[in-house]
Structure 1
Amino acid sequence: MRRGNPWLLGMLLSGTALSLVAGVAAAQTTAPSAVPPSTAAPANTTDANTLNDIIVTANRRAERIQDVPTAITAVSTDTLHEQNISTPQDLPGKIPSLMVTSNGTTRNAETVVIRGQGQSYLAPVGVVNYFAEVPLIQGAIISNQGGPGTFFDLESLQVLRGPQGTLFGKNTTGGALLLGPAKPTDKFEGYFQAQVGNYNDREYEGVINVPVDDKLAVRLSFRKVDRDGYTKDVGPQAFGYGYVLTPNGPSNGFAGKDYDDRHYDTVRLGVNWTPTERVENYLVAYYTQSHDNGTGLSISDANTGANLSNLAGNLFYRQPTDPLYGSNDPTIAQGILARQRALGPRETALNTNEFDDLKVWSLTDILKVDLTDTLLFRNIFGYQRMKQGYAWDLDGSILPLTAQNPTLVVAGTPGSFGQVGQGTNITNLSQLSVEPQIQGKFLADKLNTVVGLFYSDVQPEGLQALGSFNFGEPGMVLYSVKTQSKAVYAQSDLDLGAYVGALDGLKLTAGVRETWDSYDGRRYASSYFNIPEAQASKTAAATTWTVGLDYRLAANTIVYGKVTRGYKAGGFNMVGVQQDGLTYAPEHVTNYEVGTKTDFSVADIPVRLNATLYDMEDDGIQRNSADNAFNGFQNASGLDQGARIFNAGASTVRGVELELSVRPAKGLELSGSYAYMDAHYNNFHIDIPPDPLVTMKDTCSGPLAVPSPYLPGAKAVSANLSCIPFPFAPRHQFNLNARYQYDLGRSLGSLVGTANFSWVDQQFASSISTPAGEPGATLAPYGLLNLSLEWQDLLNRPLDLRLFVTNATDKVYRISNSNLTDTAFGSSASIYGEPRMYGLSLRYRFGD
């Protein structure tokens, strides 16, 4: 395994070793640590006159959530269990300003968007998911981070909103999801849970925690999920055809196959070793494997103009003797669309034998050494591997229009990309990260400081290729992209009362980070005739920072204001078909935020109200679209078909976020949140290259004529898109929660009932189209109701019996659109949210 810049890695690892020696030497004294542990579980309070204190790590140290001057929501492991939150897709509507989408790709992509900042296809994510403080590895093509199974056996889930430009491992423009696995404890305890439900749902989960002695504890957990899909393939026969065209030739289709199923296994091991009172080492490793039948896409729109959808229908489903054969007559494509609409969203027919196969394993080691009573050294080491292969039918129909799949190296491929017949993966990557830091407390704990380094190296570990089946022709893109990120950062918060007594409670926070990002990408595409082989590399530097003030007005009330600068790296586009589309630039965002956090009582009823107002100014936000380049009819479509990542001009996102909790009576807690978001572009223009099929583009300045490549001297034209809606930025979101716990008495146990209703406003799914140009990109608003009832300590035994239902009203709603109607493809496909799910689980607890 080769790694670039070994001097930095050596320096970091050497620093770890030297600090460990220093820590062991310092451990000869017995003074306890002056710095709290890095993570802690939420403290669940049952007193009717108090609300729960949740411990968070937004500043890389443990603090009460109400003391942290930033927009953060924490969800306890009990809430995750009671609200049936097991994947990121269960979060929209429950966290202010947060959406999760497939971003026009596969359901498993699970792209997190916060305050309109997310991910463009093929680009880095704008919201990074962390597991045990290590950023999760990202897929090479779709934006899945890590694998399934990270949402169980957690201490808490923390969602940080706004750019994280200083303290966290990777720069982000939107925020961060912090998944903190439950650490081993000094108690022998555990549980085993079994769950059954509709769609043949069978899930098993277990945890065992064993303290070996007073210095060593081990925690082993596992989760196994098997559930049938809720979208069925009805075969081409349901559309009036006896066959479909696949990369392997004509086929009878895939009638009877179910999509949107779940099948995965994950196992996790945690080892916590405390050789002395000043040294602690936490090792956590997990392995996850997943295999399912892919995404149940269904064609949802098709235009009637000259495009590949209509041409594909005529070429592959009309007889050569028909006078319309080879034309762009829309009869067949429109007929397929009409039949799909009649079938509804839970039935489809594809010409691709879809699947998704994923393997991820991870090793994280967190070393903590108390150097002195006021200085703490921490080193966070992570190594991850991801292998993924999938087949994906982008057009969601029997049309042989556009699909992705694994492939073999074909003849004509340069030898540096592998040998003919060699197998590939769509993702085959490793990620190494190291983050040493020093934390200190000074001036009687009125000054807190964190200084650290960060290094990340992502490398291909084998051949990676994307097979395509576009317009009935197989193709292949082999790619190798190496990325590195190096950073140094420092942040401090100072209570000014350390110098002026009258200013006690007024705290100044300031931080700065210098980041150096680099990438080296190359690709070979057998199906690209204009630029079959390409290479690009670049190194860029960015300075990000944060500065803020917060003031404690009363014992339980703080107000704050801050300005934060964030950044997201540029990169190499392995499926670019235009010379200027092979790379894309970084994006930068400045966030202005004010807020308050307060606990108070009304007639002895405890109330918690947190409010945030923000204004985010973005420069160069990354947006994507399908991209086609005329190749002189060197293939059947006459196009090199790929994608492009644009950097938009300036944009603004403003909003308000409110979170409220009330405990009006013993056992009853009511809570909710509301988010308002106004997102718009200030300046967004893109160049539209000559296109042999698209003749007109709807823009904010009216219809724009797209030049034909057949005309001499045809050049790209500029399109004004400044008025289009921001993607995945609903104007309104809210959720309402009720939880009631009732003691049955007489050693019968207790009942816990929960109800959650979340509502998401209308949102737009396209990056470079107007609503008129891409009508299917407007996703309708929807509301979801989830209910559960749990009998805890069943008949005074360590058993918990739970009944649950999600999407209780069986709401049908779309979560994604492929946005190809406005391009040469001429059609789009949709992904729908889960139908009503219900089931029963039984948990047996043992030990302390």
Structure 2
Amino acid sequence: MLAATLLPGHAFAQSAGQSAQANGDIIVTARRREEAVQSVPIAITAISEETLQDFRIQDASSLQALEPSFSVSASSGRPNSPVYSLRGIRPTESIYGQDPTVAIYLADVVQSPAQGSNLGFYDLQNIQVLKGPQGTLFGRNTIGGAILLTPRKPGDEFGGNVMVGAGTYGLFETEAGIDIPVADTFKVRIAGRTIDGGHYQTYVNSGDLTGRKIGGEKTRSLRTTIVGEFTPDITNTMIIAYDNRKTRGRGSTLQAVNPDHPQATQNPALFSQLFPALERAQNRPVTDIESDLKQYDNVEAWSVTNTTEARVSDGLTIKLIGNYREVDTDTLFDLDATSVAGILTTEQSASLNHHSVELQFQGSLMDDRLDWLLGGFYYHEDGTEDSPGDFYGRRLVQSGEVNNSSYSIFGQGSFKITPELTATAGVRMNWDKKELTLRQTLGDSLCLLTVDNGLGNGGTVRLPISNCSVALKDSFSQPTGTVSLDYKINPDVLVYVTSRLGYRSGGFNIRASQPVQYQPFQPETALDFEGGLKSDWWIGDVKMRTNASVFYQLYDDIQRTVAIPTPIGSPASVVTNAAAARVFGIELQQTIRPTDFFTLQVNYVYNKPTYKNWIDPATNTDLSDTPFFFTPRHSGNAMARFDIPLEDGLGELYLSGNAAYVDDQWINALQTSAIIAEHPVSVRPLLKQEAYWLVDLSAGWRNIGDTGVDLNIYVKNLFDQEYKVGGVQLYTGATGFISAAYGPPRTAGAQLRYSF
């Protein structure tokens, strides 16, 4: 059996007319209906359940090693606040009020906000990575793409699975799932996981904190899926999920201090302590971190999703998807990466809830030549974010309340012009309403919010502490859509061309304190043109799969966060629609299966984004040579797998390896070309991450002695590569220093899994 054990397409069509399940293809829902991945005219990477288990893919950051067009970065001490990027399109950061460019969906429901969006990576059938703007069917804020998590469904028979694992740095984990068929028409699956330990960093030179471990987690997750068939044509699925992930944050390393910075004279007592701290940091491993804070980054979320699907007739199905979700986060992190108190620290307590309703009508007409879908979508979120912090001995308190709504209607149809040639067209109309109430104080006695003085001279006045709030609201709308044409040269070869328009809503800057920052930033759009090939073929008895896509994106009105000064010198930013860009890219995926026991897959991504016509309105400086951040020009991975069946029913041995390459990249989205030029030549390399490889290995024994027991042994980051995932780069900005956060070092572990 040619099972889909690696990335998409590791199973091959054996003959025309075979079902996707029969030949092992991964089933995807990129067009809101179940289809074999090779038959969909969209660039998709689909990762099987088996691969997720072998390489211990437990969150979004570990997914990027298998999909080179996808990357994840995060704030220095906040692993629970990821920033996602696909094909070079990413937001500046992950904060309330600024929507993502890549959305995570669990069971067809968007996971908002970005905080906590990486919690559901367990007990999955597969993960689908949809690349490029999703203009019609996943139309809200998905101009870069979408990540679809498909939970496992309840089985028809009683059974389940249990996993126990242990690893380096005190890691201990469990996972379990059980199928309970209460009746033929009523089935339940209960699944959960725990993760404890994995603290790979150690506090040093940090007073009472010295020796404390940091960098791991304590996770508790539970998901219950209930499927009831009211009639043979009406099915209801309810998913209740709870996730609680407590971490000790992630420590940073101080890398540079600007001796000529204004803080050297304004706050000499504190600033002078940065230099010995820098010397200490330069003489120790990056896994030894320094801080004056007992850092943490916690997130808790629970949700209820209900999906009712009714088959009205052979040509009409109605689906209703409703969801309610609450997310609470609590964070304390030390951005200056020293044991000096009060230089740059941030706390954050945030709570957001959202609910959504989506109604779909799906069907077929004209003897199944036309597949169509019509629908409507409503989404609402509201929440608060409080962020007190210290800046060179001064206590700043920022907070904001968001109240946002989104509405859309959409439709898409695919028409078979001939049995081989299909045309698809879709359109979506989006309406977004954003409201934000701001508060910002210095301590508890001085309001930092200013408003226009009303004299027409550009001056401002400070609001009194008794009335320290500014309310902002605006509305945005945008039509989006898709058109494509695909042709099956034969049952195993599909070529397609497509164009899609995606939209990311406008909004407000939750950190604003001056009139120039209160202005709403407008929506950004991405229009792409893509051509692709999906093919299965043979060289003799060697099975081959070649998938390729070439795309060109018109990325306009890009929302960019740019640092600006404040009256007290604290870090501040304004969000503007800075520029237009053009993105050219090539994605290649080659799979080779010379025998039933060996599979090799090689992925390569070339991504070249370029800004066009970006002029700084304040200085008239041309910023079009500003680099795209966290966007390597070249990236890729090579994955190999050996499967060795044993005789006499003893099971199967396997060995898997994955080597992922990331080209050099800039790592701070606040920097423009003008700001980069202000840095000394000796400091500029610190603004980048040089090219690196990450190598992961996995080996195991499946169904040991026909007992249902599996053993998996893994090593991640085999060569202990140091690589940056974020940091503070304000050498010439408000703080006068650079710090960096690094990804995990080499880790290893073993898992025992029992299925019954």
Check 1:725–1:45 CA distance in 2 against 1; reply closer, same or farther (3 A cut): closer
1:224 aligns with 2:190: no
Pairwise CA distance, 1:314: 2.5
Check 1:164–1:224 CA distance in 2 against 1; reply closer, same or farther (3 A cut): same
What is the TM-score normalised by the length of structure 2?
0.91
Separation of aligned partners in 1, 2:8 and 2:535 = 18
Which of 193, 199, 206 does residue 163 from structure 2 map onto? 193
User: Which residue does the alignment assign to 1:752?
Assistant: 654
Pairwise CA distance, 1:596: 0.8
User: Which residue does the alignment assign to 2:347?
Assistant: 405
Which of 74, 86, 107 does residue 114 from structure 1 map onto? 86
Amino acid at match of 1:607: M
CA contact (8 A) 1:103 1:765 kept: no
1:459 aligns with 2:382: yes
| Counterparts of residues 643-662 of structure 1 (less than 5 Å) | 643-662=573-592
Separation of aligned partners in 2, 1:209 and 1:444 = 38
- CA-atom RMSD, angstroms? 2.1
Separation of aligned partners in 2, 1:618 and 1:563 = 13
Pairwise CA distance, 1:262: 1.2
User: Which residue does the alignment assign to 1:666?
Assistant: 596
User: How big is each residue's C-alpha offset from its partner over 1:558-579, in whole Å with a ceiling of 9 and x where there is no partner?
Assistant: 1111111111011121211331
CA contact (8 A) 1:98 1:113 kept: yes
Which of 644, 653, 656 does residue 742 from structure 1 map onto? 644
Check 1:226–1:612 CA distance in 2 against 1; reply closer, same or farther (3 A cut): same
1:675 aligns with 2:605: yes
Which of 508, 528, 531 does residue 591 from structure 1 map onto? 528
1:529 aligns with 2:448: yes
Which of 111, 134, 137 does residue 164 from structure 1 map onto? 134
Which of 100, 103, 109 does residue 125 from structure 1 map onto? 100
What is the TM-score normalised by the length of structure 1?
0.81
SS in 2 for 1:748: coil
User: Which residue does the alignment assign to 2:487?
Assistant: 551
Check 1:91–1:307 CA distance in 2 against 1; reply closer, same or farther (3 A cut): farther
| Counterparts of residues 678-693 of structure 1 (less than 5 Å) | 678-687=608-617
SS in 1 for 2:629: coil
SS in 2 for 1:59: coil
Moved more, 392-401 or 800-809: 392-401
Pairwise CA distance, 1:276: 1.3
User: Which residue does the alignment assign to 1:240?
Assistant: none
Check 1:48–1:488 CA distance in 2 against 1; reply closer, same or farther (3 A cut): closer
Which of 769, 772, 779 does residue 672 from structure 2 map onto? 769
CA contact (8 A) 2:102 2:141 kept: no
Structure 1: runs of 5+ lacking an equivalent: 1-40, 237-251, 317-329, 407-425, 498-503, 631-637, 688-715
User: How big is each residue's C-alpha offset from its partner over 1:633-685, in whole Å with a ceiling of 9 and x where there is no partner?
Assistant: xxxxx335433223221101110001111110122111121000111111223
CA contact (8 A) 2:436 2:472 kept: yes
CA contact (8 A) 1:313 1:332 kept: no
User: Which residue does the alignment assign to 1:284?
Assistant: 239
Pairwise CA distance, 1:530: 4.5
1:511 aligns with 2:426: yes
User: How big is each residue's C-alpha offset from its partner over 1:777-832, in whole Å with a ceiling of 9 and x where there is no partner?
Assistant: 21111101111111111122111111111111111111223222231211121111
Moved more, 761-770 or 199-208: 761-770
User: Which residue does the alignment assign to 2:115?
Assistant: 144
Separation of aligned partners in 2, 1:791 and 1:510 = 47
CA contact (8 A) 1:162 1:175 kept: yes
User: Which residue does the alignment assign to 2:153?
Assistant: 183
Amino acid at match of 1:302: V
User: How big is each residue's C-alpha offset from its partner over 1:167-198, in whole Å with a ceiling of 9 and x where there is no partner?
Assistant: 11523110000001001121211111100111
Check 1:572–1:272 CA distance in 2 against 1; reply closer, same or farther (3 A cut): same
Pairwise CA distance, 1:772: 4.2
Check 1:653–1:253 CA distance in 2 against 1; reply closer, same or farther (3 A cut): farther
CA contact (8 A) 1:104 1:819 kept: no
CA contact (8 A) 2:352 2:382 kept: yes
Separation of aligned partners in 1, 2:155 and 2:140 = 30
Amino acid at match of 2:328: K
| Counterparts of residues 395-794 of structure 1 (less than 5 Å) | 395-399=336-340, 400-406=342-348, 426-460=349-383, 464-497=385-418, 504-527=419-442, 528-531=447-450, 532-582=468-518, 583-630=520-567, 638-687=568-617, 716-767=618-669, 768-770=671-673, 771-773=676-678, 775=684, 776-794=686-704
CA contact (8 A) 1:816 1:830 kept: yes
User: Which residue does the alignment assign to 1:16?
Assistant: none
Amino acid at match of 2:448: F
User: Which residue does the alignment assign to 1:79?
Assistant: 51
Moved more, 470-479 or 56-65: 470-479
CA contact (8 A) 1:96 1:658 kept: no
Pairwise CA distance, 1:311: 5.0
CA contact (8 A) 2:116 2:300 kept: no
Separation of aligned partners in 2, 1:307 and 1:117 = 35
SS in 2 for 1:725: coil
CA contact (8 A) 1:312 1:471 kept: no
Pairwise CA distance, 1:47: 10
Amino acid at match of 1:742: I
Separation of aligned partners in 2, 1:57 and 1:47 = 19
1:94 aligns with 2:30: no
Amino acid at match of 2:652: S
SS in 2 for 1:639: coil
Separation of aligned partners in 2, 1:720 and 1:144 = 34
Check 1:113–1:298 CA distance in 2 against 1; reply closer, same or farther (3 A cut): same
Percent of residue pairs bearing the same amino acid type: 29
Check 1:496–1:281 CA distance in 2 against 1; reply closer, same or farther (3 A cut): same
Check 1:794–1:392 CA distance in 2 against 1; reply closer, same or farther (3 A cut): same
Amino acid at match of 1:363: V
User: Which residue does the alignment assign to 2:331?
Assistant: 390
Separation of aligned partners in 2, 1:676 and 1:833 = 23
**How many residue pairs get matched?**
710
Separation of aligned partners in 1, 2:704 and 2:181 = 27
CA contact (8 A) 1:577 1:627 kept: no
User: How big is each residue's C-alpha offset from its partner over 1:221-252, in whole Å with a ceiling of 9 and x where there is no partner?
Assistant: 1100001411111134xxxxxxxxxxxxxxx4
Structure exhibiting the larger radius of gyration computed from Cα positions: 1
SS in 2 for 1:649: strand
User: How big is each residue's C-alpha offset from its partner over 1:194-225, in whole Å with a ceiling of 9 and x where there is no partner?
Assistant: 00111000001100001111100000011000
Structure 2: runs of 5+ lacking an equivalent: 1-6, 16-21, 451-467
Separation of aligned partners in 1, 2:11 and 2:608 = 37
Amino acid at match of 1:680: T
Separation of aligned partners in 2, 1:349 and 1:570 = 38
Pairwise CA distance, 1:773: 4.0
Amino acid at match of 2:729: N
CA contact (8 A) 1:648 1:683 kept: no
Separation of aligned partners in 2, 1:620 and 1:256 = 48
Amino acid at match of 1:756: N
Structure with greater proportional strand content: 2
User: How big is each residue's C-alpha offset from its partner over 1:241-291, in whole Å with a ceiling of 9 and x where there is no partner?
Assistant: xxxxxxxxxxx4522222211111001100011121100111111101121
User: Which residue does the alignment assign to 1:38?
Assistant: none
Moved more, 572-581 or 99-108: 99-108
User: Which residue does the alignment assign to 1:335?
Assistant: 276
1:306 aligns with 2:276: no
Separation of aligned partners in 1, 2:540 and 2:259 = 65
Amino acid at match of 1:720: D
Pairwise CA distance, 1:109: 1.8
Separation of aligned partners in 2, 1:624 and 1:282 = 41
CA contact (8 A) 1:779 1:816 kept: no
Amino acid at match of 2:172: R
